[in-house]
Chain A
Amino acid sequence: MLEQRILAELKNIVGSDNVATDRQDLICYGYDATQMEFLPDAVVHPGSADEVARVLKLSNREKFPVFPRGAGSGFTGGALPKGGGIVLVVTRLNRILRIDTENLVAEVEPGVVTEQFQIAVEKLGLFYPPDPASLKFSTLGGNVAENAGGPRCVKYGVTRDFVMGLEVVLPTGETIRTGGETYKGVVGYDLTRLLCGSEGTLGVITKIIFKLLPLPEAKKTMLTVFDSIDGAAKAVSTIIGGKIIPTTLEFMDYATLQCVEKRFNLGIPASGRAVLLIEVDGDRDLIEKQADRIQELIAPLGLVECKVAKDAAESEALWKVRRLVSPSLRDVNPDKFNEDIVVPRSKVPDVIRVIEKIQQKYDIPIVNFGHAGDGNIHVNVMIDKSVPGQEEKAHEAIAEVFQAALDLNGTMSGEHGVGLAKQPYIHLELKPEQVAAMQAIKKALDPNNILNPGKMFPLG
């Protein structure tokens, strides 16, 4: 519990309307998409970077934890106030400060919703590619803190690849700028890249400078159905080996197809065992050529069907198959653990085969889909938590899935981060020396362990 005098100081900093302590408010800032819940002692909505800094100075003086939060749409509990303290909601900082069409950079506040930013830059013929599935509601601050990915990353890279500079309030309350707005810059450590994906443990982001690209002229979408998972996986490496990097190479396994077909009846051929949704973008003539070339390349790989969208409406219809995956999964079982392993793209069929065995061993459905182009597979372990023992089984199965990814030179998480959810498993991937180096950084920047304590590593 926070003392009244501390609450009074918080109200003094951000205004009394922006400090909430009703139990109802605490509940509404105690969850995220992990379905875990921890209630904070207060919810604070700062209106400026200066207010953020003053809150952090206060928290250091009074030693209470601060949990930064954007939209609260994370999958690993990164924004959850475990252990109590204040939730610091940055969504009032939601201005696009400038879009510089000469230097192709933009400066934004962290509370801007990802899609709103994309719409704003696209109006000027510019392009911000990172496209996490939550882009309609996630915030850019959250995207940077979690280093969000998305389908387009296979060609364009992840959020970190577009962050040129940051303004950050350090855990101790000092405000610093990192990086800048030049493409080159080698003075000092690259704190920008360190902060991207730091899950709100090293600083509160108050401004972001993004790199932008020219908006591609057009895009072309293809839905391809294969008679085997190997065919689909081979298609991925064949396309990229053929010197074409598509914008998107989304993959759905047989279990996923069955879910979608059962519920929505989209007419995917019965002999289909895997689907690739392929999209290329660029100049109009170029993508026509690329689309033709892709069809030639994949034709011998057990291709059952290939639908090519003629216009935006048809493209949207093809994307529908992919978008309907999540809503369909609930028919398998009510509860899901959504993991996001990555393996080198040529190893996708290998990891799927191991997951198949894990599924048989534990006798729980596992549905796989995701970004095959960069080897990032969403592994959905579907259980019914009300059945005793299933949750425990799921955790054991997940540990084996992670190990399988690591054995193939992959990683446990490509997009979602560690937060609370993956903490029990990090020792599988990180050696004690690596963890010690990371914790040394945390300790140097946050000596009082004020900012998002207990995330990524267990509370020390």
Chain B
Amino acid sequence: MSEKDFKTDALKRVEQELKKCVKCGACRAHCPAFAAFGKEPAVARGKVALCQHLLKGDIELDDATYAAMSKCLLCGSCVEKCPNDVPTDEIVMVAREALARQRGLTTFHAAVGRVIRNRSLMKFGAAAARVLGPLFFRKVPETSGLRLRFPLPFVGGKRHIPPLAKTPFLERHPEVIPGEPGKPRIVFFVGCMTNFCYPQVGEATLALFRHLGCTVIIPKNQQCCGLPGMSGGDLETVRGLAEKNLAELERYEADYIMTACATCGGALHKFYPNLVGKRHPDLAARLQAIAAKTVDAAQLLQKLGLNPEETGAGGDVRITYHDPCHLRTRSITRQPRELLAGTPGVELTEMEGADRCCGLGGTFNVYHYDTSMQINAAKSDAIIRTGATAVVTGCPGCMMQLSDGLKQRGSAVKVVHTVEVLARKLRR
């Protein structure tokens, strides 16, 4: 296929969306990447303009286009605030797909694709540890043979990474944990970060839904949601994963598909139907059905009437809450706060800019680590200024980024997931 075909083939699909942008500039107020880079190619309307010109054929999928498209965290802040509902996050993913097809996936994203494809979460642990090493598992020493085998120059030696769990969450529990009759049946979509890095988040989630008498189903063959692939434009891998997850999630008659990871929730709820469903009409209805059932853990806990006085405990003098982008853009901001505020011993203090991105942005932080941490710096400062002893959030991705930023500042503020606070009494 010629280069022109890659451009038009991918971008034609968002042609109507591109037309909606009137270049008003509202995105300049909300884009964290623009705030850090300070120049128009980094902001949403700039990227939209570039895609319009790609479609017209007067610029190419070259280094400058690549550089502009790489400067997006896919946080959705611009989409949320856009007066004309321009879905720039989807547009950027489509542009990245065109770039990936034209130029080939980067070494790193090809590696990401190999890991997240064709393996169930249960099995890919070892491979992930090797290939994603520098991203997730910085504890592997610089001199380790693993590093030599997979030399990945993208990440500097600074990042603090949570240790890999000895036993991943998915290996710890049976597939079906029966609850009380008449209570909801919930499929738990666990996600890679919870499975490998933060199994305690999975445990707390499970404990809370069992406390409510729900039947919890943890499908053994669930896959990565694919967002790391989407982030790099590897939409073929994402489609494959979406299909496999679809089959797995449809296997059980469930009332809800629940996730405690904002990013996985965003994939299931929004990106699957919009990016995969629109190009594969045969999957669209099924993806829509899954999306309609997808809920965030805190959202569902509140809906099912969890009383945090029975299950939770503060344990910290004061906490503050960070809004993950992929919860905020789904309007899930009130529920976690209300549950936390109702937890004994919790004093919830709002930080300045709780709704601002932490700077992780899928694989953005791999290519723009320093900028990612520059974006994170404002977040760390805001957290520290509250005087809180812990920052609570609803996304394991944010947890990693927040920990990294705070540790680099020598701060002792702990990073915990909402469900960990809510389940503290149950887990003692």
Interface set of A (CB-CB < 8 Å, partner B): 20, 22-25, 27-33, 35, 45, 71-73, 91-92, 113, 115, 134, 136-138, 326-327, 330, 334
Closest B residue, CB atoms, query A34: B23
Q: What does the 1/0 interface line of B52-63 toward A look like (CB < 8 Å)?
A: 010000110000
* Contact A28-B40, Cβ < 8 Å, known A327-B83, A334-B19: yes
CB distance from A233 to the nearest CB of B (A): 27
- Interface residues in B307-332 (C-beta closer than 8 Å to A): none
CB distance from A222 to the nearest CB of B (A): 25
A35 to B25, CA, bound (A): 11
User: Would you call A33 and B23 a contact (CB within 8 A)?
Assistant: yes
A31 to B40, CA, bound (A): 11
Which of the residues A72, A115, A134, A136 comes within 8 Å of B40, measured between beta carbons?
A72
Nearest 10 A-B pairs (CB), nearest first? Answer: A28-B40, A73-B25, A136-B29, A137-B28, A28-B46, A24-B64, A22-B64, A137-B29, A31-B23, A33-B24
Excluding A28-B50, A327-B83, A330-B84, 9 further A-B contacts by CB distance (< 8 Å) are A23-B64, A24-B41, A24-B68, A33-B22, A33-B23, A33-B24, A71-B25, A72-B23, A73-B24
Closest A residue, CB atoms, query B31: A137
User: Would you call A115 and B29 a contact (CB within 8 A)?
Assistant: yes
B13 touches A (CB below 8 Å): no
A32 to B28, CA, bound (A): 12
A27 to B48, CA, bound (A): 11
User: Would you call B40 and A35 a contact (CB within 8 A)?
Assistant: no
Which of the residues A27, A113, A136 comes within 8 Å of B49, measured between beta carbons?
A27
Closest A residue, CB atoms, query B67: A24
Residues from chain B with a CB closer than 8 A to the CB of A326 are 83
User: Would you call A134 and B24 a contact (CB within 8 A)?
Assistant: yes
B145 touches A (CB below 8 Å): no
Residues from chain B with a CB closer than 8 A to the CB of A28 are 39-41, 46, 49-50, 68
Residues from chain A with a CB closer than 8 A to the CB of B349 are none
User: Would you call B20 and A330 a contact (CB within 8 A)?
Assistant: yes
CB distance from A264 to the nearest CB of B (A): 13
Question: How many residues of B are counted as interface, with CB atoms below 8 angstroms from the partner's CB atoms?
Answer: 28
Which of the residues B19, B26, B50 comes within 8 Å of A137, measured between beta carbons?
B26
A115 to B29, CA, bound (A): 10
User: Would you call B22 and A35 a contact (CB within 8 A)?
Assistant: yes
Q: B39, B49, B53 — which one has the most chain A CB atoms within 10 A of its CB?
A: B39
Q: Interface of chain B, helix or strand or loop or mixed?
A: helix
A222 to B59, CA, bound (A): 51
A295 to B19, CA, bound (A): 44
User: Would you call A113 and B29 a contact (CB within 8 A)?
Assistant: yes
Residues from chain B with a CB closer than 8 A to the CB of A327 are 83-85
A91 to B19, CA, bound (A): 27
B118 touches A (CB below 8 Å): no
Residues from chain A with a CB closer than 8 A to the CB of B84 are 327, 330
User: Would you call B25 and A137 a contact (CB within 8 A)?
Assistant: yes
23 A-B pairs with C-beta separation under 8 A: A23-B58, A24-B68, A25-B39, A25-B41, A28-B40, A28-B46, A28-B50, A29-B40, A31-B45, A32-B23, A35-B23, A71-B25, A72-B23, A72-B25, A73-B24, A73-B25, A115-B29, A134-B25, A136-B26, A136-B29, A326-B83, A330-B20, A334-B19
A73 to B29, CA, bound (A): 12
Residues from chain A with a CB closer than 8 A to the CB of B85 are 327
User: Would you call A45 and B39 a contact (CB within 8 A)?
Assistant: yes
Q: A20, A25, A35 — which one has the most chain B CB atoms within 10 A of its CB?
A: A25
A327 to B82, CA, bound (A): 9
Residues from chain B with a CB closer than 8 A to the CB of A137 are 25-29
Closest B residue, CB atoms, query A94: B38
A112 to B53, CA, bound (A): 30
B65 touches A (CB below 8 Å): yes
A22 to B22, CA, bound (A): 23
Residues from chain A with a CB closer than 8 A to the CB of B20 are 330
A113 to B83, CA, bound (A): 19
Residues from chain B with a CB closer than 8 A to the CB of A32 are 23, 25
A47 to B10, CA, bound (A): 39
Closest A residue, CB atoms, query B60: A23
A31 to B48, CA, bound (A): 12
CB distance from B92 to the nearest CB of A (A): 14
Q: A25, A27, A29, A32 — which one has the most chain B CB atoms within 10 A of its CB?
A: A27
A32 to B83, CA, bound (A): 15
A49 to B84, CA, bound (A): 36
CB distance from B124 to the nearest CB of A (A): 37
Q: A23, A29, A30 — which one has the most chain B CB atoms within 10 A of its CB?
A: A23
A161 to B53, CA, bound (A): 41
Residues from chain A with a CB closer than 8 A to the CB of B40 are 25, 28-29, 72
Residues from chain B with a CB closer than 8 A to the CB of A92 are 38
A23 to B49, CA, bound (A): 12
Residues from chain B with a CB closer than 8 A to the CB of A24 are 41, 50, 59, 64-65, 67-68
A327 to B24, CA, bound (A): 12
Residues from chain B with a CB closer than 8 A to the CB of A31 are 23, 45, 49
A35 to B84, CA, bound (A): 14
A25 to B24, CA, bound (A): 18
CB distance from B48 to the nearest CB of A (A): 10
Closest A residue, CB atoms, query B59: A23
Residues from chain A with a CB closer than 8 A to the CB of B46 are 27-28
Residues from chain A with a CB closer than 8 A to the CB of B25 are 32-33, 71-73, 134, 137-138
Residues from chain A with a CB closer than 8 A to the CB of B29 are 113, 115, 136-137
Residues from chain B with a CB closer than 8 A to the CB of A20 are 39
Closest B residue, CB atoms, query A69: B40
A138 to B26, CA, bound (A): 9
Residues from chain A with a CB closer than 8 A to the CB of B64 are 22-25
Residues from chain A with a CB closer than 8 A to the CB of B28 are 71, 73, 137
Residues from chain B with a CB closer than 8 A to the CB of A334 are 19
A32 to B67, CA, bound (A): 22
CB distance from A320 to the nearest CB of B (A): 13
CB distance from A360 to the nearest CB of B (A): 27
CB distance from B205 to the nearest CB of A (A): 32
